[in-house]
Amino acid sequence: MTVATSSLSPANENQSKIIFAPSVLACDFTHLADEIAAIEAAGADWLHLDVMDGHFVPNLTFGPLLVQALRKCTKLPLDAHLMISEPERWIDAFADAGCDHITIHAEAAAHLHRTLSAIRERGVQAGISINPATPPDCIAYITDLIDQVLVMSVDPGFGGQRFIESVIPKIVYIRELEQKYNCHLHIAVDGGIDSSNIGKLAAAGADVFVAGSAIFGSKDYRAAIESMRSVALAALSVV
């Protein structure tokens, strides 16, 4: 782990269009506060928090109590990815814990309209996540209620899985929906992101990149973020 000495501000407007959201799932939990400080200093834009319930996904992670503790460690926007059944039961708890964004799964919430509205009513940005097998059309009638679509590029539940290439056309399609419904959306991709695929994802229209292993698994967090950022910007032809 290398701790950089100063935070990296995007050098120009184009750079700020590429958002890196490292997933804490891949960090060293025995030194959590140090890891968060290191990733903030390394140029992370958001902090991605993978919440799993052992029901919607076959793994358990953490809940609002840990989010509340992380809120005290960083000024970065906290980007909660709720991989939980019945997320409507937990919106207030995660909002109270200090989340800036709350993303729920289309497959996990029976009443998406109501739950997304509840997130917005708390003054929190709302996101919808779709699994690799879920068609993107499910966002068509809720574009006015979401700030972000999180396209899963692995089946959710674990870090370190292999990237699923077939999700890339969904990103292109969601940008088309954005035009059609005249809204503004972040399109995030999550799972197996590294330098080998980030260019294609940026070119397809993704602007938020969630990465666990490729950042926390590297020796130099700043170098890992900067090298992926360069590949993404090159794909957009802005470098």
User: Tokens 């666990």 correspond to what residue?
Assistant: 212
Stretch that binds ligand DX5, among 109-117, 176-184, 197-205, 212-220 (CB under 6 A): 212-220
Distances in whole angstroms, Cα of residue 125 to Cα of each of 65, 117, 137, 199, 208: 20, 10, 21, 26, 14
Instruction: Show the binding pattern over residues 138-177: x = contacts ligand DX5 (CB under 6 A), - = does not.
Output: ----------------x-xxxxxx----------------
Q: By rule CB under 5 A, what string of x and - marks binding of each residue 45-74 to Zn ion? A: -----x------------------------
Which residues participate in catalysis according to the annotation? 50, 190
Which of Zn ion, ligand DX5, none interacts with 157 (beta carbon under 5 to 8 A by kind)?
Answer: ligand DX5
Indicate whether 191 belongs to the interface with ligand DX5 (CB under 6 A).
yes
Beta bridge partners, 127, equal 103, 148
Q: Within 13 A of 87's CA, how many CA atoms are on the CB side?
A: 34
Mark out the alpha helices in 9-165 (DSSP H runs).
Answer: 13-16, 32-41, 64-71, 91-97, 112-121
* Binding flag, residue 211, ligand DX5 (CB under 6 A): yes
Q: Which residues have a Cβ under 8 Å from the Cβ of 98 and sit 6 or more positions away? A: 67, 68, 70, 71, 78
Q: Which of 40, 45, 147, 190 binds Zn ion (CB under 5 A)?
A: 190
Interface with ligand DX5 (CB under 6 A):
23, 25-26, 48, 50, 81, 154, 156-161, 190-193, 210-214
